[in-house]
Copies of this chain bind each other. A is one copy, B any other.
Amino acid sequence: MLRTIPHADVTELRLDRPPANALSPELLAALRDAVRGAPGDGARALILSGAEGMFSAGLDVPLFLELDRDGVRTAWITLFETMRALACSPVPVVAALTGHAPAGGCVLALCCDWRVQAEGRFKLGLNEVQVGVRPPGPILAAAERVVGRRQAERMLCTAELFGVDEATRIGLVDEVVPPGEVVARALEWARRSLALPPRTLESTRALCSAELARSFDRMEGEVLERFLDEWFGEECQGALRGLVERLAAKRG
């Protein structure tokens, strides 16, 4: 479900869980471990990519809905650990957004250093509220870091999905290239960073991600339990079940 593709000093991690690269707890754990392990295996930069047309559709809601409270707690902790592994990686991480990136797909992209987006009728955004999920603090913090406070709040509170042009305008993506060139362009960006003194860059990146890192520390204990209360509340469960039914109807 996760392919590791070496490009000399740069390692590409490609989400490969058809049909939509939905984020199961297992995929998240695999991604977290791969991001954590890559620098030790010699990677000096990372690319996070998806399938052509679909970077990731976000959390695997049908699967998450089957989990009990302990299972949901573990799954969200795994998502936070994955976000943190990306955002606080000792080496730069470029998101190669090969297609749509709604919800959890957008969240992963927001934790990277640079976002290269495929041209086309693709949608990105934080539409969690639309499906009854209240975005936890680290998602707001990750969005604020990239698009600023105003647009981050707008993204969360309107649950809007943006086309590529609007996503570019608000700074949600940094570059737009034809679909076939996304990974190559991400690789180019990653390679440019290899020219910088690596320890100095690592220490500078740690300074820049320190505030986001603190948002993960705050997402524990009581704060996490209250978030789970909302998750198992009537509104969220009803909205998620509605989503699963719509998905099932679509597949026929």
Contacts and interface: CB of A to CB of B under 8 A. Distances in A.
A101 interface: no
Nearest to A134: B203
A208 interface: yes
B129 A197 contact: yes
Given A137-B207, A145-B150, A196-B130, A157 B235 contact: no
Interface in A139-180: 140, 144-150, 153, 156-159, 171
A157 B205 contact: yes
A129 B137 CA distance: 31
A218 to B, nearest CB: 11
A143 to B, nearest CB: 10
A20 interface: no
Contacts of A4: none
A105 interface: no
A149 B208 CA distance: 9
